[in-house]
Amino acid sequence: NAGVMQNPRHLVRRRGQEARLRCSPMKGHSHVYWYRQLPEEGLKFMVYLQKENIIDESGMPKERFSAEFPKEGPSILRIQQVVRGDSAAYFCASSPQTTTSNGYTFGSGTRLTVV
């Protein structure tokens, strides 16, 4: 069991480009969460998804950010027209049920740098 796999580990984008971050949950986990950690700040919730459904996107910026968790394949966090303020570490977590269940597991994160 490889755990929660995120790729790429590091991503550099120029302002205005698109960033795609991928997250493959642990086998058997149907709940995926994305969190963002801005430099020198704490982790903040972005979005919670189950297969083919966005359950809670209250932490997503209103523009340029989107997330999906298709029936087949990894969950994708997409940032369009990146700006310097998007530079952060983006962490994905998965669980078999909710955040109160055992087995809540984080990935290693994707560190996005916008130049």
Partner 1 sequence: KNEVEQSPQNLTAQEGEFITINCSYSVGISALHWLQQHPGGGIVSLFMLSSGKKKHGRLIATINIQEKHSSLHITASHPRDSAVYICAVPYLSAQKLVFGQGTRLTINP
Among 69, 91, 94, 114, binds partner 1 (CB under 8 A): 91
Q: Which of residues 15-74 bind partner 1 (CB under 8 A)?
A: 33, 35, 42-45, 48, 55-56, 58-59
Token pair listed for 21:
């971050």
Binding of partner 1 at residue 1 (CB under 8 A)?
A: no
Residue 95 · residue 31 · CB < 8 Å: yes
50/63 Cα distance (integer angstroms) = 22
Dihedral sign computed on CA atoms, order 79, 110, 113, 55:
positive
Per CB under 8 A, residues contacting partner 1 are 33, 35, 42-45, 48, 55-56, 58-59, 91, 93, 98-100, 102, 104-109, 111
